[in-house]
Amino acid sequence: MKKIFVANFKMNKTNPEVLDYIQELNNHLPESLSSDVCLCLPYTSLCLGKFLDERIAVGAQNMHEEDFGPFTGEISADMLCCLGVKYVIIGHSERRKYFNETNEKINKKIKTALRHGLKVVLCVGETKVQRNSKRTTEILSQQIESALSGIFENELKGIIIAYEPVWAIGTGKVASSEDIEEAVKTIRKLISSHYSKQAAQDQKILYGGSLTSGTAKSILKIDGICGALVGGASLDPNEFIKIIS
């Protein structure tokens, strides 16, 4: 399976900084890039995606579930598509935590994104408290079952699931190979029971949480991991190039 690397800039970089980043990335991209790569830029920089090397896709970090209307400050799927955006992150734990995104809202957003032909990067993962109380499987099941409610099997090809344990995000603590492998198995089991064995086998699953060029190799070797969703380490173009190379 082709590897996928998604950079999540979060709320970082002004437009001049993004332009510098793009120049550096374009100049140092390996000629033989064999993975799918996407930069999820802040909304304000999405218009700069056109300056990226054509092998790199542009993504957004969120979108609204309605097509248009009186939602001050929000961004619709159409608005993203018009800027050449191909991917959208949905259900990031920071949005669940700070912006009260519920599983129900995430499900609506996924349906809207798919209807507009956007590829969805659906984030799931447990908090430290949930892990310590052995609720990881239960939480992953809740998040995935509600996110995928009403989604047909043929639509799964438009969805990439990113396993991002909340306690590993921005903490420098990478989940162990055993924890990641177990989460991947749980996710595939869920897909298999709700759809089919084939769907479970084909499901693209990424890891996210404090991944760097130093840890990428061993994480990418984990059975069933197809790539990574990278936060902090993606903000330095040379570090991100090391990860995707």
Q: Which of residues 89-118 bind ligand 13P (CB under 6 A)?
A: 92
* Least distance between ligand 13P and beta carbon 198 (Å): 28
Phi, psi of 118 (to 5 degrees): -85, 145
By CB under 6 A, the count of residues binding ligand 13P is 14
Binder among 122, 230, 243, 244 for ligand 13P (CB under 6 A): 230
Rounded distance, CA 88 to CA 113, Å? 8
Query: Taking CB under 6 A as the rule, which mask of x and - marks residues 158-177 in contact with ligand 13P?
Result: ------x----xx-------
Decide: 231 and 239 in contact? Cβ < 8 Å: no
Binder among 18, 229, 241, 244 for ligand 13P (CB under 6 A): 229
Count of Cβ atoms closer than 10 Å to residue 187 Cβ: 22
* Least distance between ligand 13P and beta carbon 173 (Å): 9
Which lies closer to ligand 13P via its Cβ, residue 167 or residue 195?
167
Query: Taking CB under 6 A as the rule, which mask of x and - marks residues 41-80 in contact with ligand 13P?
Result: ----------------------------------------
Q: Does 214 bind ligand 13P (CB under 6 A)?
A: no
Which lies closer to ligand 13P via its Cβ, residue 195 or residue 207?
207
Q: What is the largest CA-CA distance in the chain?
A: 48
Rounded distance, CA 88 to CA 198, Å? 25
Q: Does 232 bind ligand 13P (CB under 6 A)?
A: yes
Give the CB-nearest residue to ligand 13P.
231
Residues serving a catalytic function are 92, 164
Which lies closer to ligand 13P via its Cβ, residue 65 or residue 94?
94
Q: Does 8 bind ligand 13P (CB under 6 A)?
A: yes
The footprint of ligand 13P (CB under 6 A) covers: 8, 92, 164, 169-170, 208-211, 229-233
